[in-house]
Chain A
Amino acid sequence: MFSGRALHLDGPLLIALLFLSAFGLIVIFSASGEDWEVMVRQGIRLGISLVAMVILAQVSPETLRRLSPHLFLIGLAALLGVLFIGVVAKGAQRWLDLGLVRFQPSELMKLAVPMAVAWLLTRGRLPPGFMMILAALMITLIPAGLVVVQPDLGTGIMLIISGMIVVFLAGIRWHHIMMLLAALAALAPFLWSRLDGYQQQRVLTLFDPFADPLGSGYQTIQAQIAIGSAGTWGKGWLEGSQSHLEFIPERSTDFIFAVFAEEFGLMGVLMLVILYLFIVGRCLVMAYNTRETYSRLLMGALALTFFFYLFVNLGMVSGILPIVGVPLPLVSYGGTSMLTLMAGFGMIMGMHARRRLMT
């Protein structure tokens, strides 16, 4: 594939990503109330993210592996830093002010957690034994817990999912999976009591959004009206009446898919889902064809985590999952998430390009 090979890029994946992000810009333009400035800003972020992707693609899998524990520790220190000296924005403390830029350590952790778990598990024999699983749990749950108290429940959950995917791919035995699930079930009442009132409300809302139509149920109801009223073919780009009358809160960020679904209908939804599936599928195939275990675990985990972003976001927008605040990957407005995702795809491409190198 043209100069892509020299840059360790993957043609089909790159094209799909560009296609998806370009489409995201079109939806942002509509969701922002036809605001050119918002679209241009997001375009700039996209450019920066693509540069990050190309750079990460040049890093060898061995270097990534060696860096994994260090990156994790840096991320952990930064998370603790946020807890004590972080900047509060929109009621949550998620940022470290580094003078020039604001840095969100939880975003770094989205890469560092699966890297660290993959690094840990490949140090021992696979499939992982019980102690190894416990260790993997620790390095997943500690950063996730720090993120949840920020509070950012969505990102915390996604960190746990990404860590657990690595453990799953590493071949954790089924009876261990059962034990983990049983432990989770036993802890569920305690975890529930630890959630904030509004977070509990969001879960309850799932079962009956009309119980509190002005409060927690509002987003769910309005998003469903927007999506449902679109029908098979949608209302057309920039024609979404619900979106444009501002019935949908957070319509440029977490709820952007409702805007998309209103304007492009079920056909648009299918098309977009297929595009996402292509990206995930392509990454899984690349993981499948990579021989080195660390790379394979990490690639598979990044690809599947990307999928779960999609699943959780679409689930909450369409009202089958609680609203936990997970953006639609590569489409929602906002820079850091896109940067992390593109960096992840860069790592996948780089590992795939060097798949034949055995260490």
Chain B
Amino acid sequence: MAANDLPTGRTLVADTVRRRLRIAAALALALTLALVWRFYVLQVSQYERYQTLSLDNHIRIQALPPVRGLVLDRNGVVLAQNTAVHILQVVPEKVDDLDTMLQEVDALVGLTPGEASAFRKRLKKHPAFEKILLKAKLDDVQTATFAVNEFRFPGVTLEAVLHRDYPEGILTAHVLGYVGRISERDQARLDASSYQGVHSTGKIGIEKQYEGALLGRSGFEQVEIDAHGRTLRTISRNSAVPGHSLSLTLDIDLQRVAREALGNRRGAVVAMDPASGEVLTMVSSPSFDPNLFVDGIDQNSYDALRALDDRPLFNRALYGRYAPGSTIKPVIARAVIDAGINPQERVYCPGWFTLPDSSRRYRCWRKTGHGFMNLHGAIEESCDVYFYEMGSRLGIDVMAKVLSGFGLGRITGVDLPQEPAGLVPTPEWKRASRNESWYPGEDLITVIGQGFLMVTPMQLARMTATLANRGIPVRPRILLSEEDSLSGEKISPPQAQASGQEADRVVDTELDQIIRAMAAVMHSPRGTGRASGRRSPYPIAGKTGTAQVIAIGQDEGYDESVLPEKFHDHALFIAFAPVEKPQIAIAVVVENGGSGAKVAAPIARKVMDRFFLKRLQRAALAEKSDVFG
């Protein structure tokens, strides 16, 4: 022991450490006593309080899911809402005999084989004390029947839940998207604390884009539940905050007209207000019923939808990539003027064009030729030979620049998820992606909107709006306004404040003569779109386009009657109206529609007619209320 040692330095040190060990031991003892006191307080002094909290009446803190925000069209028509439905839930450990219970429930309200097997699958995945879904969407009779008999089924509860509902269904499926059950992949991406008690999330479209605004905030409540898991009473409650309601720029009437005009064809229609970029119509056809996805679509139906050749799930308006065909000719014409070429210069069209040192004939759509054509006539009658000549003079770099300037090959910035950029080809691009050099012939293919050039209907509509704006680009948008559901306070989206237009651009007066040619397309006796411009009460500027889907050989003709439908040309059309002070810009693509003039242009005309009719009616109404008000 230290006491026997001589008082050397080492023992002095030893004494210090020993003293400290004693102090530390005393400290540890004191801290332990503090802990014991704490447990005494919890387990003895406050025992009764905690026992009530725990024993016969379990206090559960349960999340109150927020009500998802509504989505309305620009006139207040409901596009997405929440309706109450009844569901049956089961806490397995509270059921004495699951098989008997299932039989009796089946006898009472009926269970489909699918519901029963899905239930058994969930049973394996979840612990026995967790609630699992037995039957979704009971009808009124089933709900009433079960409610009367609920006492016979301990562990089975009938609950009313809110369920997302899309009243306009197929009209809005692509743009609005849908919500669905939160999947494992969603879980990895979403913040769990914001989704307490919430079982679904926006999967695509606006529902996904504005998930944050629509979701709202979960509340919670403390409830007492009895031994069967039934709620006895609510102790305290912190209400959920509902999600914001969104007004979209879409007009559901125009949406319906566009869809009906497309009929059962495959294609897309996008119309917007060129000044603000507000998207008035965005239709992709064929469509699907988004309500199927809300509760989780069953595998068979989903596979069936995906397997269809028509690809109804595919949003052609935003994701479809098409050769624009002749619809880009007005934009190319802008480059022609810019290059210092006299618009009055005439090019002779014999029906074909050849490059120097080549015998290959590039055909005009009119086999007999247009004769002498200047810029105006070449747009009006869509003469390919004039543009072949210009294309070979301009070269790909100049053309790529003007096409990019009108927003092709880049995203439009519309507020929808994962917009594709399309493609404006350049020699550098071709070298990088295919390791091939650019051929002069490809200038000619590009100038008539074929070849590698790929655009989306949304990009085409934006290009049209930019023409309508005399060169000022606009950013399309679908959210009109956001509103706090409780206070009614408007929250304007940040891009609305910037009015969508890029302020530093100035009006391009050189476009006027091109726009005059586009008006001639619709209203002159030789215009390619004259059939759709006829007797229009408002002047239209338009451009037709017909894009080949397959290459036609040198000596073959294109004969629609012998080709299978999927090889028919795509029909395209762009237009804005009125020519001066335009209020609507529209792009129509009809897959394998054949002729842009015959198939795509009438669809645009129907949508525009409806648009201006509504304007007139509203103006008349306003006038009346002025008189009587």
Contacts and interface: CB of A to CB of B under 8 A. Distances in A.
A, B: real partners? yes
Interface of A: 33, 126-127, 165, 168-171, 213-215, 218, 221, 224-232, 241-242, 244-246, 261, 265-266, 269-270, 273, 277, 280-281, 284, 287-288, 291, 293, 296-297, 300, 304, 307, 311, 314-315, 318-320
A225 B53 contact: yes
25 contacts: A126-B16, A171-B16, A171-B19, A214-B63, A225-B59, A228-B46, A228-B49, A228-B51, A228-B53, A229-B47, A229-B51, A230-B43, A232-B47, A242-B54, A266-B40, A266-B44, A269-B36, A273-B35, A284-B21, A300-B21, A300-B24, A311-B28, A318-B38, A320-B34, A320-B35
A231 B51 contact: yes
B18 interface: yes
A318 B127 contact: no
Interface in B5-42: 10, 13-14, 16-21, 24-25, 28-29, 31-32, 34-36, 38-40, 42
A296 B28 CA distance: 18
B35 A214 contact: no
B436 to A, nearest CB: 41
Interface in B44-58: 44, 46-47, 49-51, 53-55, 58
A291 B42 contact: no
Describe B's contact surface by its main secondary structure.
helix
Contacts of B129: 244-246
B513 interface: no
Contact of B21 (A169, A226, A227): A169
Contacts of B193: 215
B61 to A, nearest CB: 5
Interface residues on B, range: 35 or more
Contact of A168 (B18, B20, B34, B63): B20
B20 A270 contact: no
B50 A227 contact: yes
Instruction: Rank and list the top 7 A-B pairs by shortest CB-CB distance, nearest first.
Output: A228-B50, A229-B54, A171-B16, A266-B43, A228-B42, A229-B50, A214-B220
A202 to B, nearest CB: 14
Nearest to A172: B20
A106 B54 CA distance: 38
Contact of B61 (A213, A228, A300): A213
A238 B14 CA distance: 49
Nearest to A168: B20
Contact of A288 (B18, B58, B220): B18
Contacts of A246: 127, 129
A61 B36 CA distance: 36
Contact of A127 (B16, B34, B36): B16
B89 interface: no
- The SS class assigned to the A binding surface is helix
B445 to A, nearest CB: 50
Given A214-B196, A229-B50, A261 B39 contact: yes
Contact of A265 (B10, B19, B28, B43): B43
Interface of B: 10, 13-14, 16-21, 24-25, 28-29, 31-32, 34-36, 38-40, 42-44, 46-47, 49-51, 53-55, 58-59, 61, 63, 127, 129, 193, 196, 218, 220, 222
A318 B42 contact: yes
Contacts of B25: 281, 284
Most buried by A among B28, B61, B127: B28
B32 A229 contact: no
Contacts of B58: 241, 245
A35 to B, nearest CB: 11
B245 to A, nearest CB: 25
B327 to A, nearest CB: 50
Contacts of B47: 228-229, 231-232
Contacts of B31: 307, 311
Contact of A296 (B17, B29, B36, B40): B17
A168 B24 contact: yes
A269 B44 contact: no
A241 B43 contact: no
A277 B43 CA distance: 21
Contacts of B39: 227, 261, 266, 269, 314, 318
B43 A228 contact: yes
A218 B61 contact: yes
A307 B21 contact: no
Contacts of B16: 126-127, 170-171
Given A171-B20, A269-B39, A225 B61 contact: no
B28 A307 contact: yes
Contacts of A213: 61, 220, 222
A131 to B, nearest CB: 18
Nearest to B18: A288
Contacts of A280: 28
A114 to B, nearest CB: 13
A169 B17 contact: yes
Contacts of B50: 224-225, 227-229
A215 B192 CA distance: 10
A89 to B, nearest CB: 15
A246 B60 CA distance: 11
A216 to B, nearest CB: 10
Contact of A318 (B35, B54, B61, B220): B35
A354 B110 CA distance: 78
Among B14, B34, B218, the most chain A Cβ lie within 10 Å of the Cβ of B14
Contacts of B20: 168-171, 300
Contacts of B222: 213
A165 B47 CA distance: 36
Contacts of A315: 35, 38
Given A228-B49, A296-B17, A261 B55 contact: no
A110 to B, nearest CB: 18
Given A230-B43, A318-B39, A297 B17 contact: yes
B28 A170 contact: no
A286 to B, nearest CB: 11
A279 B50 CA distance: 32
Contacts of A227: 39, 42-43, 50
A318 B21 CA distance: 28
A15 B112 CA distance: 61
B59 to A, nearest CB: 7
A307 B35 CA distance: 12
Contacts of A226: 54
Nearest to A293: B13
Contact of A273 (B10, B32, B127): B32
Contacts of B32: 273, 277, 311
A224 B53 CA distance: 10
A168 B19 CA distance: 11
Contacts of B38: 315, 318-320
B42 A126 contact: no
Given A270-B36, A300-B21, A214 B61 contact: yes
Contact of B42 (A165, A171, A224, A288): A224
